[in-house]
A and B are shown apart, each in its own frame.
Chain A
Amino acid sequence: MAREMMYADAIAAAISEEMQLDPQVIFYGQNMGMTERDPMLKKFGKNRVRLAPISETAEIGIAIGAALTGLRPIVELWMSEFMLVAMDQVVNEAPRFRYMSGGQVKVPVVLKAGFGFAAGWAGQHSNCTYHMMMGIPGLRVVVPSTPADAKGLMTASIRDDNPVVYLHHYMLTLDKGEVPEGNYSIPLGVADIKRAGSDVTIVATAWMVKKSLTATERLAAEGISAEVVDPRTLAPLDVETILKSVRKTGRLVLVDQGTRHGSAAAIIAAEVVERGFESLKAPVRMVTALDTSVPYSEPMENYILPNEDKIVAAVKSVLTGQEVAA
């Protein structure tokens, strides 16, 4: 049994269910729980649902301290860039404590934020920051692409004993999809084949999964069978599933909304080239954002981001061995 649910609602449902199941889970952030009418506040009370001031360093730092001492905080950070305000707490505090203590403590924190808001939010509110986090040992990085994944991965993130950066994509917020009934979790570190295919492997995350799936329809009409692999979590990264797909198809296109060197794609490409070079029939191709900040005006924004045309062109390029224009 499944029901149709919006991506945003699926995330909220996971948080609500976990708070119901586990009294250690608390939830706070800016501009939430402001009035008695707030549904989460009504359900879980002021002790567990809190309004925080605009203080990312303290919000995240407090969550770390609370996690060290027995709670499982979820911090609503709204936009992934706001985490940058508190980069020390995210990359140099949360993931360090367990290690530095020789395994004596754990930091089960979920840092929840949206990213990639390609709707005219310009230079400082549209970015992809996951690549900065995915190489930090001790951190988990989650980037769901569907409502079902969003829910199951949020559940797993809350239950995980490590700090988790849970990044949901703003452009998927209102997307609807089938979500299994009841409480379930999706293990972190397990990629999902979003579409099976035989000619080329496309690895994409979050909004880029959706764009890649649209592109595969167009490719299918031309007789090209593309497989779409969604890692779903960037740390841990399920390299095995990606390699397995590449062994089958022999070709790899990576689609990433981040800039070329600020993408997960570059890291995945390196893993595949080192561990699966013998299966590659063509050079790996990365479809990423151009190396610019994100512009405000729509035509320019469209220009710098990956889109279906660019994905189709990249797939044809790796299939033909010739440069195909988007």
Chain B
Amino acid sequence: MAKKEEPTKDRLTWMYTQMVRIREFEESVKRTFIAHPGVIRGHAHLGDGAEASIVGALATRQENDLVMPSYRCHGYPIVLGTSTRSMMAEVFGRKDGLCKGFGGSMHLADPAHHFPGTSGIIGAGIAHATGAALTAQVKNTGQVVYCFFGDGSAKQGAFFESLNMAAVWKLPIVYVLENNQYQAYTHVSLEDANAIAGDPLSKKAEAFSIPGVTVDGTDVLQVSEVVGKAAERARAGQGPSLVESKFYRLSAHGNVITVPPLPTQFPEHEAVAVYGNKAEFEEGKAKDPVPKFRSHLIRNEVFAEADAERIEDAARAEIGDAVQFALASPLPLPEEAINYVYA
């Protein structure tokens, strides 16, 4: 492999652009609950706060590498090039949605953009991503699979079984454990043995004798460096790694679970709503990766304030258009529901 190179200005600008697009998408979804009540059904989960982690990790992928996250899945396909119009239309359950209204927010799939699909069952998708890595190995495609999941998933049997098998078979996969501090509503300190012992969650890697590294998930460049090494290792046939990317989920787990006809919207973050810990939430917000990277880039003269604003305006325009497109898209015909049961 070539020696580590500093990302070019274009690359850094690309990274910031993707982070802003993700943030704008998530905030638009959140606003929809107020602006267009009832348009989003069921449960939507947002990735705001994860932008540096997502973009830092995906910045290291090669053209055909696959990406398989959990149901908190909006951010990744945005980076991979999936149309935000069809993504928003899917979140809105429309005919022009990415999955024609069959999946919704939790089940985005876009195989054409290296995004085979996600499971809504916590931890289950870790096994599926591991299987995608098996395909890469059996077919010798040179692909690496980027598997993302939360700290909650790291307590599931699927996590332990999959990492063991990936280590035994030396599969080309990078496991990114997004430690956003909360599994749904429970703080990590209440349910994770490593966290309780004061250890990083990456210590779990020791159980499988694979590398385990913890990285500041609000630092896009640090994430990129660490995940990049893990991906190189995977591509070289040396097997899986576990990267704990630590950041703070900036929104609540998901929209309020209400029973129709009560309207649903995003509640306050669990830190405040459940634990009454406003200080923790404020601290989390202070580490918001998007303004952090913006300041970094301006400080280092990668771009000027005006350039940042142009990027932000463009993202607002793009996602605003996606919302309009989704609202204008028709609902599927009822009888379409009988399609796609069998191939």
Contact = CB atoms under 8 A, between A and B. Distances in A.
A93 B99 contact: no
A75 to B, nearest CB: 11
Given A61-B128, A62-B134, A105 B111 contact: yes
A93 B107 contact: no
B165 A103 contact: no
B130 A93 contact: no
A162 B66 CA distance: 22
A104 interface: yes
Contact of B127 (A64, A104, A161): A64
Contacts of A104: 99, 109-111, 117
Q: What interface size band does chain A fall in?
A: 35 or more
Given A64-B127, A69-B116, A58 B161 contact: yes
B109 A101 contact: yes
B134 to A, nearest CB: 5
Contacts of A100: 99, 102-103, 107, 109, 117
Contacts of B119: 93, 96
B12 interface: no
Contact of A65 (B129, B139, B169): B129
Interface in B95-124: 97-103, 107, 109-111, 116-117, 119, 121, 124
B100 A55 contact: no
B128 A103 contact: no
Interface in B253-307: none
Interface stretch (B185-193, B216-224, B322-330, B335-343): B335-343
Contact of B158 (A57, A67, A108): A57
Given A98-B343, A102-B102, A104-B99, A65 B161 contact: no
Interface of A: 26, 47-48, 50, 52-53, 55, 57-71, 73, 88-89, 92-93, 96-108, 137-138, 140, 161-162
Interface of B: 66, 68, 97-103, 107, 109-111, 116-117, 119, 121, 124, 126-139, 157-158, 161-162, 164-165, 168-169, 339-343
Shortest 8 CB-CB distances between A and B: which pairs?
A65-B131, A61-B127, A58-B161, A65-B128, A102-B100, A161-B343, A55-B161, A101-B109
